[in-house]
Amino acid sequence: MKKNISRLDQLLRLGISLVLIYIGFIDRSIIDDTLSSNILGIIGVINMIVAVARYCPLYVVADINTCQEKK
């Protein structure tokens, strides 16, 4: 798997992931619906895995590469 996520993209994804995990799993008073909060939490976890791996399968399908390769 070749990295296709830049450092800025990775930091943004990590920040968004932490917010989604907090809303989905930790502070359930923000969203009262259990299903919706669980879905947001799961999306946050998946997004965090993508950010840590710096590889996004959807970027491959869309032929996007935000990672600057050093030559």
Write the DSSP string, 1-69: ------HHHHHHHHHHHHHHHIIIII-TTS---HHHHHHHHHHHHHHHHHHHHT--HHHHHHT---PPP
Residue 17, in any domain of the structure: yes
The whole domain housing 46 covers 7-62
Residue 16, in any domain of the structure: yes
pLDDT digits (tens, 9 = 90+) for 25-70: 999 899 999 999 999 999 999 999 999 999 999 999 999 999 887 6
Overall domain count for the chain: 1
pLDDT value at residue 44: 97
Residue 31, in any domain of the structure: yes
Residue 36, in any domain of the structure: yes
Residue 52, in any domain of the structure: yes
Residue 71, in any domain of the structure: no
